[in-house]
Amino acid sequence: MVDWQEQQMQSLLSAKTAPILFNSLSEIVKRLGFDYCAYDMRLPWPVAQPKVISLNNYSPGWQQRYNQERYERIDPTVSHGRNSSLPMIWSDQNVASNRPFWEDARSHGLHAGWAQSRHDARGICGLLNLSRSDDHVSQKELREISHQLSWLVDVAHEGLSLLLVEKHMPEAASQLTAREIEVLRWTADGKTSGEVSEIMNISDRTVNFHISNTLKKLNATNKTAAAIKAAMLGIL
């Protein structure tokens, strides 16, 4: 197991771009018995419509159908991944609750699968979804490869985060000073600039100076948005 992990780690984390890393990931899961691989990364911002970055090797027909029907709204693997980090097997129960979706998926060659998500301290959620065109995923098979699959979820998330997050959400790499963080914490608690100045024993002008800096660093339009973004990114 350790040797296997070391071999895969080199091919995954040495990748210089997200497509190259994903191609390596797809080859690994193919050797584990799955034809198709998908990785969706859901960023925490903007709050109203979080950005989702998707990489997959599904057929063009299924990709078009999935997007056209906006299946992400009813895809059981997506809803499960947002609420739990436990693995999910495509089962008869899932099919019964979303039969039109699953029948459509099966018509495009997706008959059996497994999915698991990873949530990190920055509020970023990644979902690894593996599937194939025949057979079900048996408990015996899962016992044999469950450790590899869970390990792949972690490594894929770490690797793709490094390559994608800063590009699509550069504020995630922002470095705030201790003073800026303290001002934002009080702001997040609903304190006005005047109240923050009294609590921290600094002038209103200094408070507003720190707020102005955080707006620039976090690419926020106002101090409320800055406080929310900082909290969601784990900065506070």
Q: How far apart are CA 160 and CA 28, in angstroms?
A: 15
- pLDDT of residue 166 exceeding 90: no
Helix (H, G, I), strand (E, B) or coil at 221: coil
Which residues neighbour 191 within 8 Å (Cβ) at sequence distance 6 or greater? 199
Cα 128 from Cα 56, distance rounded (Å): 10
Summarize pLDDT for 151-164 with one digit per residue, the tens: 999 999 999 998 99
* pLDDT value, residue 91: 73
pLDDT of residue 2: 61
All structural domains of the chain, each given as residue ranges with its CATH number in brackets, are 2-170 (3.30.450.80), 174-232 (1.10.10.10)
Residues 179 and 160: their CA atoms lie apart, in Å, by: 31
Task: DSSP for 65-127, please give it.
Answer: HHHHTTGGGT-HHHHHHHH--S-EE--HHHHHHTHHHHHHHHHTT--EEEEEEEE-TTS-EEE
SS3 at position 17 = coil
Q: What's residue 169's pLDDT? A: 79
Pair type for strands 112-119 and 125-132: antiparallel
Output phi, psi for 67, to 5 deg: -70, -40
* Confidence class for position 31, pLDDT limits 50, 70, 90: very high
Alpha helices in the chain (DSSP H): 2-13, 18-31, 60-68, 76-83, 92-97, 99-107, 139-168, 178-188, 193-200, 204-218, 223-232
pLDDT in the model for residue 150: 93
pLDDT at 44: 84
Longest Cα pair distance anywhere in the chain, in angstroms? 68
How many other CB atoms sit within 10 Å of the CB of residue 27?
Answer: 12
Query: Which one, of 131, 128, 71, lies nearest residue 101 by Cα?
Result: 71
- List the single range of 8-12, 81-85, 196-200 with lowest mean pLDDT: 8-12
Q: What percent of the chain has pLDDT over 90?
A: 66
pLDDT beyond 70 at 1 = no
Predicted confidence (pLDDT) per residue in 111-146, tens digit: 999 999 999 888 899 999 999 998 788 888 988 999
Identify whether the C-beta of residue 210 lies closer than 8 Å to the C-beta of residue 218.
Answer: no
Q: Provide the pLDDT for residue 95.
A: 65
Which of 8-22, 73-87, 164-178, 214-228 has the least mean pLDDT? 164-178
Q: Which amino acid is at 231?
A: A
Across the range 43-55, mean pLDDT stands at 87
What separation in angstroms does the CA of 36 have from each of 54, 104, 115, 216? 14, 16, 12, 41
Residue 203 reports pLDDT greater than 90: yes
pLDDT of residue 139: 85
- Mean pLDDT of all residues in 218-236: 88
Q: Report the predicted TM-score, pTM, of the whole model to 2 decimal places.
A: 0.83
- Give the pLDDT confidence score for residue 3 in this predicted structure: 76
Mean pLDDT of 49-68: 94
Mean pLDDT of 5-19: 84
